[in-house]
Structure 1
Amino acid sequence: MENQDIIIQQDLDSVEEILSSVLTDSVYEASINEMCLRVVKSGGKRIRPMLSLMAWHALGDKGEKKSILNFAAATELLHTATLVHDDVIDKATVRRGKATLNETDGNHAAVLAGDYLFTRCFFCIHDINNQRIGNMLNNTLASLVSGEIKQLHTQGNLNISISEYEQTIYCKTGALFELATAGAAILSDENESVIESLQEYGKQLGIAFQVADDILDYTSSSDTLGKNIGEDLEDGRITLPLILALKNCSTEDRLLLEDAIRNVNLDSVLNFIDKTDSIQKSKDFALDAVQKAKKALTSLPQTQYRKNLEELALKAATRSN
């Protein structure tokens, strides 16, 4: 293992300690803590904390180490809280290969657990004592909620445009990646140019990541992905593979595809996606976002950590789970 990989792993281990600590430090909240720990420890990739840590090291390890570790933990808690609420909204039964909280404990308990995870996130942010970080967190949370509402409003809308889709996935995914990377620059006391560069990197990485996720919903398996396949179609979410299929098929085929979508006929929908080469077109869209993410990093010093950020963007777009 390379030296920088060891350093990042050690930092992630410290983040895990923080996550465990903030969810076990009160005997009065033992029941809700146990529920939250089940979700937090269920095997997430920890991409957001990793991004914060890599960006911080790429900028020269400036600022207090405790602050970046708390911030990295906060990004994971915020992400996990939104997943718990998403599972309630989507009526999901499986997440990361395990039963969701709403499946095991019911919707009411799951919503409260998500709320509690938000409070633990705010606890970590409060310890950092940086007003700009706090403001950025608030804006990110507003974007996350806005993205969910946009998605609800466009549910089943077969005329959604690519630009509308891109705005939704930015709010749902890109905004939190943006927080993770730009926050590291703020804690490093960097100038506005560097902060904006890392914001753009996070935004484009988030878009690539979400497009890859939407592709996997039509190409992966439940065992590989850790959740049910075809959920987007079943829930009426019109994502990029479908948008492109609807856009590129003939008038006659579009009528048939629209009927297949409304009737949740996954096999038929997959045939049209394949016929229009929409999976490859979606992959190209994600890879274009990767190139934009890499370009945004050119203002950073040429280090192995910057190279790791570039590689992470590509992995996000080409992942298999």
Structure 2
Amino acid sequence: MSAFSKIIEQFGEKTLYELLIGDNKACIFKVKDTNNILNEEIDYLYSDMQMFGFVNFKNISEMLENIDRKSEIIEVNGVEKYYNSLVSSITSNSKRLDHLYLPLKNESITVFFEISMLRDFDNKNVLFLLKERLQSDLSYESLFADSYKDKLTGLFNYNSLKLHLDSIHGHRYIGFMDLDDFKSINDTYSHKAGDEVLTKIGCALISIADDNVIFYRKGGDEFAFMSVDLDQNGVKDLIRRLKKTMANIVFKDSKIQFSIGYSEYKDCCDLTGHEVLQAADLAMYESKAEHVGKEVFISIDTVKKIMKESSLEKEIAKFDLKRKR
């Protein structure tokens, strides 16, 4: 059976027709289906990677080395998690996989691909179809990013925080930041003015984010952070930098201040991610109620004590009730 006959059999005549006359460029290749599939030599059947401005990769491992690590989808999931998930899909024994997402970067641009993968068990090969996604197409990346990024500030949103909490490991500190007296800005100067302030805050937080800290917009005038591989002194230094950066944001002669509460999260600490978020929320409420402009820390031991004697929900409800009075 010829290569094109096999392609038609596996992908269908419609797909082949779209490849030959469609606007989206594509290539098809095969590799031997072995336990070392990532390093098996690529045999290009239809077109090749030079069409997209790349060299012809010798194997899949070499191709994956060119992943654009700054792509928003990868940024949200984390490079390591995304890479491992992609490798797991390719090395699985599934007969067919569709719509794997692969952004590859050459010297000047990033090309976005959708991968379909089919196993030819008879001949012990795996067929790969790489189809370019044009910017004029429905933007897969934009749709994905809309789910995990806050449009106004450019920060990750609360969905991302919950995702990262489950996927990033190590000693983490999670903090919530609530702007002090932000309601008066909206009431006095309009919501447009409030959005302007929130945008400035987003830019400021992005400017101090690094490999050890990620910032999020929780919603409204609340923001959050998660630090990775910092001890408590490192987090205190982060908070000092936060305050210094925020002090430089001025609106109508008023400086931006916020209350902050944070808690810690360790692997195997017998707490769930949800409970840690509640603990950080409780710490922020305490900061807001008693120490405006100050930070409050709740340790893992304190969280366990609260849960033993009462519940985090009840403690948060107490502060929420006081706030509404």
- Name the TM tier (shorter chain): under 0.3
Name the structure where helix makes up a greater proportion of residues.
1
Name the structure where strand makes up a greater proportion of residues.
2
State the TM-score, normalized to the length of structure 1.
0.28
Which of these two proteins has the greater Rg computed from alpha carbons? 2
